């Protein structure tokens, strides 16, 4: 069973700053099945990035994903006020079929 670890747990930044979030897998995973989600308080999660680096429909280009193997990164180039939220990484494994979420990184206003 693959375990995803996210760091830091909380990231305190100011609007306009760059955010770098990490997601590490307990074993090598296919980047094709690594995604990032954003969740704001009281809202459902929203898909940001799929296939490790592809932005979902309507996602601003200040969001970017990268990485492979056991280490993946979500970068927000310049934080906007609406970007302060919790971010989860997720992996889909097909043998056995399982969907695993990381514990999340909260990006809050410094």
Partner 1 sequence: EVQLVQSGAEMKKPGESLTISCQGSGDTFKTYWIAWVRQMPGKGLEYMGIILPADSDTRYSPSFQGQVTISADKSVSTAYLHWSSLKASDSAIYYCASLYLGYFTAWGQGTQLIVSS
By CB under 8 A, name the binding residues for partner 1. Answer: 32-33, 35, 37, 39, 44-47, 50, 56-57, 88, 90, 92, 94, 97-104
Buried b (16+ CB within 10 A) or exposed e, 6-30: beeeebebeeeeebebbbbbeeebe
Q: Tell the smallest beta-carbon distance from residue 20 to partner 1 (Å).
A: 20
Q: Tell the smallest beta-carbon distance from residue 14 to partner 1 (Å).
A: 25
Q: Tell the smallest beta-carbon distance from residue 45 to partner 1 (Å).
A: 6
């Amino acid at each position: 069973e693959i375990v995803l670890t996210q760091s830091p747990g909380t990231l305190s930044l100011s609007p306009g700053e760059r955010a770098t979030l990490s997601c590490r897998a307990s074993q090598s995973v296919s980047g094709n099945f690594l995604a990032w989600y954003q969740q704001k308080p009281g809202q459902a999660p929203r898909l940001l990035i799929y296939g490790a680096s592809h932005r979902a429909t309507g996602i601003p280009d200040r969001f970017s994903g990268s990485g492979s193997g056991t280490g993946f990164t979500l970068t927000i180039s310049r934080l906007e006020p609406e970007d302060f939220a919790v971010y989860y990484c997720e992996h889909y494994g097909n043998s056995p079929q399982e969907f695993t979420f990381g514990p999340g990184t909260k990006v809050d206003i410094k």
